[in-house]
Amino acid sequence: MPSYSVAELYYPDEPTEPKISTSSYPGPKAKQELEKLSNVFDTRAAYLLADYYKSRGNYIVDQDGNVLLDVYAQISSIALGYNNPEILKVAKSDAMSVALANRPALACFPSNDYGQLLEDGLLKAAPQGQDKIWTALSGSDANETAFKACFMYQAAKKRNGRSFSTEELESVMDNQLPGTSEMVICSFEKGFHGRLFGSLSTTRSKPIHKLDIPAFNWPKAPFPDLKYPLEENKEANKAEESSCIEKFSQIVQEWQGKIAAVIIEPIQSEGGDNHASSDFFQKLREITIENGILMIVDEVQTGVGATGKMWAHEHWNLSNPPDLVTFSKKFQAAGFYYHDPKLQPDQPFRQFNTWCGDPSKALIAKVIYEEIVKHDLVTRTAEVGNYLFNRLEKLFEGKNYIQNLRGKGQGTYIAFDFGTSSERDSFLSRLRCNGANVAGCGDSAVRLRPSLTFEEKHADVLVSIFDKTLRQLYG
Amino acid sequence: MPSYSVAELYYPDEPTEPKISTSSYPGPKAKQELEKLSNVFDTRAAYLLADYYKSRGNYIVDQDGNVLLDVYAQISSIALGYNNPEILKVAKSDAMSVALANRPALACFPSNDYGQLLEDGLLKAAPQGQDKIWTALSGSDANETAFKACFMYQAAKKRNGRSFSTEELESVMDNQLPGTSEMVICSFEKGFHGRLFGSLSTTRSKPIHKLDIPAFNWPKAPFPDLKYPLEENKEANKAEESSCIEKFSQIVQEWQGKIAAVIIEPIQSEGGDNHASSDFFQKLREITIENGILMIVDEVQTGVGATGKMWAHEHWNLSNPPDLVTFSKKFQAAGFYYHDPKLQPDQPFRQFNTWCGDPSKALIAKVIYEEIVKHDLVTRTAEVGNYLFNRLEKLFEGKNYIQNLRGKGQGTYIAFDFGTSSERDSFLSRLRCNGANVAGCGDSAVRLRPSLTFEEKHADVLVSIFDKTLRQLYG
């Protein structure tokens, strides 16, 4: 752990506290501009209108000059704070200009430095046991290309070396069997894996994410619903996890070899920050291996350090690594890691897109990884997370309207629940008025997602805003 | 039309001709590096290993120092040639650094300059009749978010103001009706719309793109198979198009109101550069309007100037503009244009992703559009296309092994067929050995996809390489 403040090193001019100067939030200038933007672009999900030139480190500045401590970091996708000097440096580099001006169709015309860029960046950061990569553009894209790799892997296994039949070649053009596939991806209740048609079929977070969109008839398995504090609910939680494992085994039997892969998040993020024990994931892994099912670990939100490990699933100590690990968000680049060469389809152009990845994002991912290593930011985040968790534990003591404080030992990946979604939403709105940008997930959870430059002093500011806000709301 | 050479203006150091110095293609250095890269990244689709630092304008330079005239331009996605000075300039700008270092979750935290950036760039470039935009990351993403907009539009129309039922809210979490949708997207035989699960369900280009991947049971309609030269086959082509329109009408009736939208390319690109007349598209548009079906025009490959119009569908003179027009590739940015406010779903967070668009790409799109306007590159491309078409017509005269030269009056969007795919593939390989990077599409077509900086002198070089290559192959 570094003995210096990385935030101060990066951001000598980082604000020391939030400043809200408008009487309502968002302020008048932001409202006016959002209104104008709404004529051409959907702005109804906008919480604030940001001035990214002025934002620094852990503080986001808005159009009215308000300064907020950002504990959401663009839905968990800013790794090192705003206007990080090392990212600004690579942004100004010739390598970046050349990558932006000559964006390649990577699979057909890779650049002569893409291999080295991957080796020095994304691949160096690979989870234990993974040594190959396929790059993509977003979390949804990463998961869907991972699904495709799994479907082709399973079909090749069944086909056992025989070439495509005439019937397969013809029927697939009509989207019919046997050319298409009746295999499925199994996901977990409350899981979130993206919003395009394949990924949305595995997403089980909220109806509003899914309504009116066609979906594949794919199965979902229960995810443990743990009770907190964990120490006081050991037996109940163990029983809950056993029951989920048993139901998963049943689903595997019911689908009779048709499950190509399972996809699971180490911590279900959009679905409410739902955790499970290492034991649960180890058992799940065993069942997938016994049944020839591939295991995709979706680290789009959990990956890249925030849980106190580079990859959250490294907490589990699996004896067999996952088959695929997907990533995006904090790395800006996206894609999946794998190790079995058979997850590369048996012919070229089967896993293919014009832009299968983007070197400009791979350049940024490399810098992010180098900075993480240089300043030991994963260890640092684990420490800061412990500090913050303890402070929150004390703050919430005796406050029965807050429950299920969770994420202990998981870095800054901390969450807690209010009794209802409207209580939670009031808390979040009031937080913004008090200078902290924080988000919810699931029905009534608050999730903390600061960047890896969030330190004890930022935790102190956050706790004091929480304190103030809870006093305003609950007296 | 500018009286100066835009290529010379941009690229005073552009090579004047190709130079192949290796005895085989790809050369030894490229082969060695590709071999190394293949340990971690699938390289089996790689045609060459590029040195993007050294590539200029219409010429791509490879790892062995070979210089090729590039008439494929990264699968039609380089608008203004390699290392365009204006794109390099915006790449080095503070706006770009800030966009790269602070990539926003656009729908939640838009930047205070995103509205203006859209107004000055992507929206200024909007097709006639379109004034709103939703941004995305790729062609597949653009088409799938367009599909989602269409499904939600049609569901809201049917729901007619009533709120979601309990049954809908519950069933959708199991991917079942009535919460999910039994509506469909109708696409056309040989169409290509992307490779994720929804877009791949509408893609009908080739089996290898689709095999073993689950697909929705969505309908496909026939696309006209025109005979060339057009002047000599007017009656037959008219009959062919009438028959396709009739079959489309039948499909509409058969699906009884379940077709949410059709998606169609102005020129089917991956599927073989298949054209249809304006009359065909006008009739199609009428049927969609009569039946309450939305029309998505997929301009991912045809858009941004190469056909001699900014948007290829502007050739059709529709009295009612398409409902949605999708774009990507040459604009680097991706998304869809629309005009009916009801294509914005009735609630926020229904059309949503962490990154719904990327300001760094919107900055590049703006520069591309400004340059297109400044140098009148669409008109210029129309002219160069006519010149090239005429030269090819002469070159192919009496060469019966080349058929169906097409794309007259469609800018540089020109194609022709060989008798078999292996003849076509031999031609393309030999072309690379002779210094031209050109690609195929469909079964046996060669498609030309230069950037908008391709001029008469480049056309001359290309025609002379074609001539040389055909002599080598056919004597």
Q: CA angle B423-B265-A172, nearest 5°?
A: 65
Q: What is the pLDDT of residues B415-424, one digit of tens each?
A: 999 999 999 9
Q: Say how many CA atoms lie within 13 Å of A32 toward its Cβ.
A: 5
Closest partner CB to B213 (pick from A41, A180, A344): A180
Same-domain status, A272 and A398: no
Question: Is the ipTM of this structure higher than 0.90?
Answer: yes
Task: Identify the pLDDT of residue A3.
Answer: 81
pLDDT at site A69: 98
The stretch B119-141 carries a mean pLDDT of: 97
Tell me if A173 and B78 make a contact (CB, 8 A cut-off): no
Q: How confident is the model at residue A190 (pLDDT cuts 50, 70, 90)?
A: very high
Residue B56 is assigned to a structural domain of this protein: yes
Contacts of residue A246, Cβ cutoff 8 Å, sequence gap at least 6: none
Domain boundary among B357, B392, B424: B357
CA dihedral B417, B420, B422, B428 (to 10 degrees): -10
pLDDT digits (tens, 9 = 90+) for A415-457: 999 999 999 999 999 999 999 999 999 999 999 999 999 999 9
What's the token pair of residue B210? 């689709």
Are A228 and A171 contained in the same domain? yes
Q: Which two tokens stand for residue A294?
A: 């591939």
Number of structural domains in chain A: 2
Pairs of CB atoms within 8 A across A/B:
390
Residue A344 lies in a domain: yes
CATH number at residue B60: 3.90.1150.10
Whether the predicted pLDDT of A2 surpasses 80: no
Ordered DSSP codes for B215-243 = -----EE------SSGGGGHHHHHHHHHH
| pLDDT over 70 (residue A8) | yes
**Cβ(B372)–Cβ(B86) below 8 Å:** no
**Residue A425 forms part of a structural domain:** yes
Q: Identify whether A225 is a catalytic site residue.
A: no
Q: Are strands B402-406 and B184-188 parallel, antiparallel or unpaired?
A: unpaired
- Domain final residue, candidates B308, B325, B357: B357
Regarding whether A256 and A309 lie in a shared domain, the answer is: yes
Q: Stretch B432-448: mean pLDDT, rounded?
A: 97
A84 contacts B101? CB cut-off 8 A: yes
- List the strands of the sheet with A59-61, edge to edge: A59-61, A67-70, A436-437
Based on the residue annotation, tell me whether B354 is a catalytic residue of this protein: yes
Q: Same structural domain for residues B35 and B118?
A: no
pLDDT band, residue B354 (cuts 50/70/90): very high
CB contact under 8 A, A137 and B134: no
| Beta-bridge mates of residue A133 | A337
The pLDDT of residue A1 is 64
**Is residue B364, in this structure, part of any structural domain at all?**
no
Q: What is the CATH number of the domain that holds B323?
A: 3.40.640.10
Q: Do residues A330 and A258 both lie within one domain?
A: yes
Tokens of A210: 């899914």
What distance in Å separates the CA atoms of residue A351 and residue A322, rounded to the nearest whole number? Answer: 20
Is residue A122 a part of any domain in this protein? yes
Decide if A364 is inside a domain: no
Give residue-wise pLDDT tens across range A292-307: 999 999 999 999 999 9
Cα B187–Cα B188–Cα B191 angle in degrees, nearest 5: 95
Q: Given CA atoms B103, A197, B125, B308 in this order, what sign does their dihedral have?
A: positive
A410 and A335 within one domain: no
Helix (H, G, I), strand (E, B) or coil at A206: coil
Whether residue B329 and residue A133 make contact (CB cut-off 8 A), yes or no, is: no
Which residues share a beta bridge with B268? B274
pLDDT in tens, A114-147: 999 999 999 999 999 999 999 999 999 999 999 9
The residue type found at B194 is G
User: Dihedral of CA B417/B418/B420/B422: which sign?
Assistant: negative
Per-residue model confidence (pLDDT) at position A368: 98
Q: Which residue of B has its CA nearest to A168?
A: B211
Rg (C-alpha) for chain A, rounded Å, is 23
Query: How much is the pLDDT for B2?
Result: 74
Q: Which of A33, A139, A208 sits opposite B347 (nearest CB)?
A: A208
* A114 vs B: CB within 8 A: yes
Question: Does A114 sit within 8 Å of B77, measured CB to CB?
Answer: no
DSSP B339-385: --GGGS-SSTTSS--SSSS-HHHHHHHHHHHHHHHHTTHHHHHHHHH
- Dig out the tokens for B198 from the structure: 């929804």
3-state secondary structure of B64: coil
What span, in angstroms and rounded, lies between the C-alpha atoms of B9 and A233? 73
Q: Closest chain A residue to B122 measured between Cα atoms?
A: A40
**Nearest residue, CB atoms, B208 vs list A170, A196, A349:** A349
Measured CA to CA in angstroms, residue A346 lies from A337, A341, B201, B336 at distances of 18, 10, 21, 34
Q: Check whether residue A159 and residue A258 sit in a common domain.
A: yes
Select the residue of B118, B144, B209 nearest A40 (Cβ to Cβ): B118
List CB contacts (< 8 A) between B104 and chain A.
50, 52, 74
The mean per-residue pLDDT over the stretch A356-362 comes to 97
What average pLDDT does this structure show over B297-320?
98
Q: What pLDDT, in 10s, does the model give residues B101-123?
A: 999 999 999 999 999 999 999 99
Structural domain contains residue A186: yes
**CA closest to B159 among chain A residues:** A212
Please confirm, yes or no, whether A329 is among the known catalytic residues. Answer: yes
Residues B203 and B281 in one domain: yes
Which phi and psi (to 5°) does residue B135 adopt?
Answer: -100, 150
Strand partners, B298: B326
- Phi and psi at B92, nearest 5°, equal -90, 0
Q: Which residue has the tokens 């998961």?
A: A143
Lowest mean pLDDT among A92-96, B137-141, B339-343, B344-348: B344-348
Q: Predicted confidence band at B1 (pLDDT cuts at 50, 70, 90)?
A: low
- Looking at every residue in chain B, the average pLDDT score rounds to 97
The shortest CB-CB distance from A134 to any of B42, B100, B140 is to: B42
Q: What percent of chain A has pLDDT over 70?
A: 100
Query: Quick check: B63 contacting A, CB < 8 Å?
Result: yes
What tokens does B79 get?
A: 């608008």
Q: Which of A283, A309, A329, A366 is catalytic?
A: A329
Of A294, A324, A357, the position where a domain reaches its end is A357
Say if residue A339 is in the same domain as residue A447: no
- Asked whether B51 and B2 are in contact (CB, 8 A), the reply is no
Spatial distance between the Cα atoms of A466 and A462, rounded to a whole number of angstroms: 6
Inform me whether the pLDDT recorded for A412 exceeds 90: yes
Domain carrying residue B149: 104-357
Hunting for tokens 């209104």 — which residue is that? A35
> Quick one: closest CA in A to B301, which residue?
A354
A4 lies within 8 A of chain B by CB:
no
* Residues A337, A389 within the same domain: no
* pLDDT tens for each residue of B6-50: 999 999 999 999 999 999 999 999 999 999 999 999 999 999 999
My answer on whether A133 and A260 are in the same domain is yes
Sheet of B402-406, strands arranged across: B402-406, B415-418, B445-447, B439-441
Q: Is the residue at A330 inside a domain?
A: yes
Residues B31 and B120 in one domain: no
- CA pseudo-torsion sign B274, B280, B285, B287: negative
Mean pLDDT of A160-188: 97
> Helix, strand or coil for residue A403?
strand
